[in-house]
Structure 1
Amino acid sequence: MCELLGMSANTPTDLCFSFSGLTRRGGETGPHADGWGVAFYEGKGVRSFHESCASASSEIAQVVETHPIKSETAICHIRQANVGNVCLANTHPFTREMWCRYWVFAHNGQINNFSYQPGLYQPVGETDSEQIFCDLMNRLRQNATTTDTPEQLSGILVELAGEYARQGVFNCLLSNGEWLFTFCSTKLASITRRAPFGPAQLKDADVTIDFEAETTPNDVVSIIATEPLTTDESWDIYQRGEWKLWSGGEVITSGQVQLPEPEAKK
C-alpha cells in the first residue's frame, strides 16, 4: 500500500514539517520506496515534483523539504508498487485539466480488475489508481457543471467514491485548488491546528517544531495523512466510509457512506 498526505489552510503555508515525516516512510521507516510526488497549488497553477525512487534518499525530496513552498492546498504521495512498473508515469499525484482548473488526485489502495470506461480522460501509466482518476473525471464531467457548488460536487464525488470503495480499497485525496476532498476506505487521519499553537514532534524523524513561532493567531492549517505523523498531538481518525470536504483549513461538509465489512483473512 501507499501513503497519502494532504494540506488545507486559510493562508499560504509551507508543508516542510509534515513532508519531512512522510518522506522518511518512503524507504527508511516504511516500505514505500517505489516513488513519490507532491503538488502545491498556487492560485490556479500547480507546482509539482515527482520521482520514481525512494523519497527518504531523494535529493529532490530534500530540496522540497528544506525550501518552504507556500500553498493553501497540497497533495503528497509515497508509493509501494502493487500495480504497474516502478516508473515516473506511475507516480502519484496525477493531474488533469477540467473547466479551466487543474485537478490533482492521489490514491492509497487497490481495486483488482478495475473496469475503466474510456472517455476524454485516459491514463498515461499502468496503475489502477490513474484509471480510477480518469474514470472519476469522465463521469464528473458528464454529471456536474461549472456552476455546481463545492457541496453539490461533493455529492457526486461521494457517490463515486462509495462505488470504488465497494470494489476494493479506496482512500483518496482530490482537489481542484478551491477545496480538498478526502475519502477513507480503510485508513486516514487528520489534525487541525489553530491558536493557541504549540510544539509537535514527528514520529519518523527527530524533528520538533514550535508552531507558535511559525504562525499568526488567525492561521488555520489542517493536515490529512494515512497515519498520524506526530507523537504528541491528538489526531482525528477517520471511520470506514467517512469523507470530508475541506476549504481554508476547515471542514465545510462531511458524512459517511455504508461500506461492506472487509472479508476476514483466512
Structure 2
Amino acid sequence: MPLTTLVDSHCHLDFPDFAGQTDAIVARARASGVGRMVTICTRLANAPAVQALAEAHDGVFWAVGTHPMHVAEEPMATVEALVALAAHPKMVGIGETGLDYHYTAESAGVQQQSLALHIEAARRTGLPLIIHARAADDDMARILTAEHAAGPFTCVMHCFTSSRALAETAIGLGFYLSISGIATFRNSGDLRAIFADAPRERLLVETDSPYLAPLPHRGKRNEPAYVAETARLMAGHLGMEPEDFAALTTANFDRLFAKAAGPVPA
C-alpha cells in the first residue's frame, strides 16, 4: 500500500475512453495511492454529466469551462453561468480555458474572448483558473499579466510544456505549474529542468488522462492511477524521495484548490 496519498489534479473521467468503467478506474487510483482527482469538463453542455461523476464518487471533484479548441463550435460561456456552476460543493476550478494556436490558430480572437470571461469567473468565485497553453506563449504571458494586474486570481498552468519564459511569467504571478506524464519522457530533459528550477511549493502533478500516459505506460490509455508513476519518476529527477514529492504536491494542491482540501476517502 502506498505510504502517501497523491492527487490527480487534472483528468477527464467523462471522456468516451472511460465509459462504463468509472468505478474500476477510481478503485485502481485509490489502490495506487491517488485518493483525490479533479475531472475536467471541457464543454459547458457536458457539465451535468461531469457533475454527476463527482457526486457519485468520494474524492472526485470537478471543474468546468470551454476548452480553447472548442470555443469556435460552442456557445460562448458567460461569467454568470460559470459562477452559478461554481456554487456546487464539489466544483473546484474554472476551466480548462486558455489558448491553443497549434491546432486552432484561426480562432485566436474568440479564444482570447473566452479566456477573459473565464478569468473574470475565477476572480468572482475565488476558484483557481485552469489554463491550457499550446503554441501561444507570447499572447498567454501578455494576457495573464495584464489580467492579473487588473484584478488578481489564482491559476494553474495545466500539463505545462511551454517555454521557460512562460513558466517564469506564471511563477512571477503566483501561479502553479502542473507536471504531466510528458515530463517522464526521455526527450523531455528541458522540461524537467524548468520544473527543477521552479519553486517546489508551486508544483502539482496530473495525468490529463486518458491522454499522455507516463513511462512505462507511454502510448497506452492513461488513467488517474498512473499519476503515481509520474510522481515517482519526477521525485527522482528532483532528488526527492517519492513520499516527500507526493506530500509536497498534495499540500500544494490543497493550498490552490482549497475547496477540495480535506480528509482523504477511506
Tell me the TM-score range normalised by the shorter chain. 0.3 to 0.5
TM-score normalized by the length of structure 1: 0.32
Give the structure with the larger strand fraction: 1
TM-score normalized by the length of structure 2: 0.32
Give the structure with the larger helix fraction: 2
